[in-house]
Structure 1
């Protein structure tokens, strides 16, 4: 999992990326391609 400043650029790299808020943190997850995982905050 990567920790990045801007998740918006990561979200556009794959069409199945989702931006999700959990416990005050923002995550990018992808069910089909697991290497697109990131966290912010």
Structure 2
């Protein structure tokens, strides 16, 4: 999982979902698990 300042590029990857958990923003992707990231 990467920690990034901006998740804008990752939300365009096919299959990605943006989820808010515990005050942080996560990108989860079942199709491509390498595209996992969090912000904050």
Given the two structures, how large is their TM-score scaled by the length of structure 2?
A: 0.88
Runs of 4+ in 1 over 4 A off after TM superposition: none
The CA distance in 1 between the partners of 2:10 and 2:21, in whole Å, is 18
Aligned to 1:11, what secondary structure does the other structure show? Answer: helix
CA RMSD of aligned residues (A): 0.7
The reply on whether 1:8 has 2:5 as its aligned counterpart is: no
The reply on whether 1:20 has 2:5 as its aligned counterpart is: no
Gaps of 5+ in 2: none
The size of the alignment, in residue pairs, is 40
Given the two structures, how large is their TM-score scaled by the length of structure 1?
A: 0.86
Aligned to 2:8, what secondary structure does the other structure show? Answer: helix
